[in-house]
Amino acid sequence: MTRLSTAWSKLRWSLAQRGLAGTMRTALGRLQPQDGTAGVEKPMLHPFDQRHGVDTSGLIGGGDLRSGHKNDVFNTAYYGMAPSRFRRVVEDWISDSGHAAISQYSFIDLGCGKGRAVMMASEFSFRQVIGVELNASLAKTAKSNVVAWTDAGRAVCPVQILCQDATEFSFPEGPCLLYLFNPFAAPVVKRLIERLETEFAGRPGVLDVIYFNPEAGELLEAHAGFKLLWTGTVEMSEEDAAADHVASPEDLCSVYRWVGV
């Protein structure tokens, strides 16, 4: 890809994500001189990767996640979820008596990136864990990570990575826990909701959604088929806070349940 076509792809992504005004603000902001007072430099490699011999670190902007798919302009970015936040929310969800046993649930991470959440989910006794990723390079890395993870004996349930469009994924039978770490913008979330309507028509109460950084959460909240169970902030461990380049204490997480229409 030429530099011109690369620049055009990034511009299309920025316009789709931020709009014209937001794109201009971002560009102007990058022209401002840096004062060098950002504070202590954080490590590039997260302790999760050092501990487990996997590759889930790094921030990749949505404009650099080109796959040739029509939904590329709606990619947000890749960044691995803080392990402490993920485990706290999943453990809280498990402790809720308002759903079936975890062993009956399939855990599905749409936009799984390099697979950090998929690996952590496989430590719980789900029926199965599935990661779905559109970008072939990220999916390849996720598959390698899962192999290393399972070879180390950390997975206690079947786990797989699929390279495909999230809105075309066929959900397995039985209860499902859908996990989203703000992987794509509202237009794709809207199409995903339409898919969920079809997949879970007549199956109220067997789909829960954990949505971190729910930028398109209003689409779920406005839909009669979804009930908001909880929304709030999730504390990070000191280790994650020291290593995370992206997360903020104000980041929200919302949990929804499909109740049918």
Task: Provide the residue range defining the domain that includes 136.
Answer: 83-258
Q: Is 185 among the domain residues? A: yes
Calculate the alpha carbon distances from 91 to 88, 97, 98, 191, 210 in Å: 5, 12, 14, 29, 12
Residue at 24 is within a domain: no
The pTM is what?
A: 0.85
Answer whether residue 64 is part of any domain.
Answer: no
Handedness of CA 239, 241, 243, 246 (dihedral sign): positive
Instruction: Answer yes or no: is 49 within a domain.
Output: no
Residue 233: CATH number of its domain: 3.40.50.150
Rounded distance between C-alpha atoms, residue 131 and residue 109, angstroms: 5
Residue-wise pLDDT tens digits, 142-165 = 999 999 999 999 999 999 999 999
Would 26 be classed as within a structural domain? no
Give a yes or no: residue 129 inside a domain.
Answer: yes
Q: pLDDT value at position 41?
A: 67
Q: Based on the number of CB atoms within 10 Å of its own CB, is 108 exposed (0-12), middle (13-18) or buried (19 or more)?
A: buried
Q: Note whether residue 202 is domain-resident.
A: yes
Structural domain total, the chain:
1
- Cα–Cα dist 81/48, whole Å: 11
What's the pLDDT tens digit per position in 92-149?
A: 999 999 999 999 999 999 999 999 999 999 999 999 999 999 999 999 999 999 999 9
Pairing of strands 77-78, 252-258: unpaired
In a domain, 28, yes or no: no
What is the average pLDDT across 164-171?
Answer: 96
User: Amino acid identity of 28?
Assistant: L
